[in-house]
Amino acid sequence: MSKIINPIGIFDSGLGGLSIWREIIKILPFESTLYYADSANCPYGEKSPDEIIELSKVITGYLIGQGAKVVVVACNTATTVAVEELRRVFTVPVIGVEPAVKPAALSSRTGKIGLLATQGTIDSPFYRNTREKFAADVEVIARPGFGLVEAVENGRSEDKTTIELLRRYIEPMLDSGVDRLVLGCTHYPFLIPSIKKIVGDRIEIIDPAPAVARRCAAVLQQSALLSDSSLLPEHRFITSGDKEAMKLFLKTIKPNIKYIVEKA
């Protein structure tokens, strides 16, 4: 397969980063993208920092080797653990995603916010520094969402078992008085319909994907890397997991776009 010219490179431990890809192509419709889903090694949240860093370096190197002009680490765990190392090793701009505790803390009326994230994100120094810097004046109730990434990867985002799993994580937060729920994993926006069945209109759900897309657009503009609007964008997807599962997932979230899916 021939290379796409100057794509935005994006990677995640699996399919969750497509929540960010979806926002990127919404605000940057002329940009080509190259997305790498490392579903064979999903989830990253239960791996060691050394392993996450090594996987992230290999994938980032691959994306750049395929011509990526910028790399978006569309994974909270990989961002919190590996993004600084990626920026040290590689010369192209590297954009990460982190739990949106700052906007949640600033807008909370009760002074209590919930964070649903992977264990790797919650345990990371990167997250602790973010919380201390931006949410020191509020109470952050963080819960690791064991099993949620797998539910999204396997197409079970709205199953009854997934809703019950979410209920176990979220209802104690509601009982504690949180009025904001930060989604600290890029897989979790695909669970929003199920989350709303639990929380209704009682709290605001904060998805960081739009902010990451805006940051990507700003970096491209500042670096004079925006694509010519006369070019027809291309979208290529690589997966280390099940190619057919990725095709099915893409059909559900963006059925009217042309793309190529390949096995890594």
Residue 3 binned pLDDT confidence (cut-offs 50, 70, 90): confident
Residue 264 binned pLDDT confidence (cut-offs 50, 70, 90): very high
Q: Who contacts 200 (Cβ-Cβ below 8 Å, separation ≥6)?
A: none
Together in a domain, 126 and 251: no
Please identify which of the residues 28, 71, 140, 185 carries the catalytic annotation: 185
Together in a domain, 198 and 220: no
- Is there a catalytic annotation at residue 75? yes
Please identify which of the residues 75, 149, 199, 209 carries the catalytic annotation: 75
pLDDT of residue 106 exceeding 90, the answer is yes
Contact 110, 179 (CB under 8 A): yes
pLDDT of residue 1 exceeding 60, the answer is no
Mean pLDDT confidence for 248-254: 91
Mean pLDDT confidence for 157-169: 97
> What is the percent of the chain where pLDDT is above 70?
99
CATH number at residue 87: 3.40.50.1860
Together in a domain, 115 and 155: yes
Does the bond joining 172 to the residue before it have cis omega, within 30 degrees of 0?
A: no
Residue 204 binned pLDDT confidence (cut-offs 50, 70, 90): very high
pLDDT of residue 18 exceeding 70, the answer is yes
Together in a domain, 220 and 178: no
How many structural domains does the chain have? Answer: 2
Q: Who contacts 153 (Cβ-Cβ below 8 Å, separation ≥6)?
A: 14, 15, 16, 39, 42, 187, 241, 245
pLDDT tens, position by position, 221-232 = 999 999 987 778
Residue 13 binned pLDDT confidence (cut-offs 50, 70, 90): very high
Mean pLDDT confidence for 91-113: 94
pLDDT of residue 4 exceeding 90, the answer is no
Together in a domain, 194 and 214: no
Mean pLDDT confidence for 50-63: 98
In a domain, 1, yes or no: no
Together in a domain, 140 and 185: yes
Going by DSSP bridges, is the β-strand pair 33-37/8-12 parallel, antiparallel, or unpaired?
parallel
pLDDT tens, position by position, 109-119 = 999 999 999 99
Together in a domain, 196 and 124: yes
Among 207, 224, 239, the domain-final residue is: 207
In a domain, 236, yes or no: yes
Retrieve residue 61's tokens: 């190197």
- Does the global pTM surpass 0.85? yes
Among 207, 230, 251, the domain-final residue is: 207
Together in a domain, 203 and 109: yes
- Is there a catalytic annotation at residue 185? yes
Together in a domain, 159 and 73: no
Question: 121 lies in which domain range?
Answer: 101-207
Residue 99 binned pLDDT confidence (cut-offs 50, 70, 90): confident
In a domain, 242, yes or no: yes
Among 161, 181, 207, the domain-final residue is: 207
Together in a domain, 190 and 151: yes
pLDDT at residue 59, as a whole number = 98
CA separation, residue 234 to residues 4, 15, 239, 244, 261 (Å): 7, 19, 17, 20, 12
